[in-house]
Amino acid sequence: MLVSDGYHIPYHLNGLRLYTGPAYKFRTNLGYIETEEGDFAMMKVLIIVGSLRRKSFNRQLADAISDIISGHAEVSFLEYSDLPMMNQDLEYPVPAVVQRIRSEVTGADGLWIVTPEYNHSYPGVLKNLIDWLSRPVDPLDRRSGSAIRGRKVAISSVAGNSSGSFCRERLSELLTTIGADPMEDPQTGFTLDADAFTSDILTLRLEDLDRLKVQADAFLDFIDD
């Protein structure tokens, strides 16, 4: 049985569905709650990082988000560095990498996009991924729907002084345009401190983690609706 350490195990039960994992003991505002195997199943959250950089600050933020929601939801990261640039010549037959990405996206209850801001917008690699996801699942039937239509999405960003506000706003707009369902409030944006650029390490303060926990709670509620 696992006992909460106050950080890795969430402090309330938002987001849990019929659970098939091992027994857990959760600390909540109301005291400890014990769950048995078969009580709940966890929701699935797929994290998408908008940077391919090896030491990406956004990847570091995504790891912190993963720590916060693990135990609350099943978390995985989307690997898409091998996705080709959108080219309609490649759409049919559907490339294997696109099939894999679509099935990971449709298999998740929620997507959490964690992205840098590039020139007051989202990076091209993320736009390319979203362009692929926006296309009809059956290329011969435009009404077959897309992998991202109706998907619930949380948005976070680490960037410069803007804390990614321009990028987050534009990303929300893009997602809405293609029929996804971005959670507008709360989103989280963090500003890199001067040290980050020399250390390549993202430092999150306790209040930053609290903001992420509030967002995580809200998102698990949002995808449970």
Ligand X SMILES: Cc1cc2nc3c(=O)[nH]c(=O)nc-3n(C[C@H](O)[C@H](O)[C@H](O)COP(=O)(O)O)c2cc1C
Binding residues (CB under 6 A) for ligand X: these are 51, 53, 56-58, 116-120, 159-160, 162, 192
| Least distance CB 168 / ligand X (angstroms) | 11
Nearer to ligand X, 26 or 190 (CB): 190
| Least distance CB 131 / ligand X (angstroms) | 19
| Least distance CB 59 / ligand X (angstroms) | 6
Nearer to ligand X, 9 or 192 (CB): 192
Nearer to ligand X, 26 or 166 (CB): 166
Print burial letters for 96-133: b (CB count within 10 Å at least 16), e (below 16).
Answer: eebeebbebbbebbbbbbbbbbbeeebbebbbebbebb
| Least distance CB 57 / ligand X (angstroms) | 4
Nearer to ligand X, 43 or 167 (CB): 167
Nearer to ligand X, 26 or 122 (CB): 122
| Least distance CB 119 / ligand X (angstroms) | 5
| Least distance CB 126 / ligand X (angstroms) | 11
CA distance 33 to 18: 15
Backbone conformation region of residue 6, classed left if phi is above 0, alpha if psi is from -120 to 50, else beta:
left
CB atoms within 10 A of CB 25: 13
CA distance 110 to 221: 11
CA distance 167 to 130: 14
* Residue 24 token pair: 């857990």
Contacts of 225 (CB under 8 A, 6+ apart): none
Q: How far is CA 143 from CA 84, 135, 146, in A?
A: 24, 10, 9
Nearer to ligand X, 63 or 131 (CB): 63
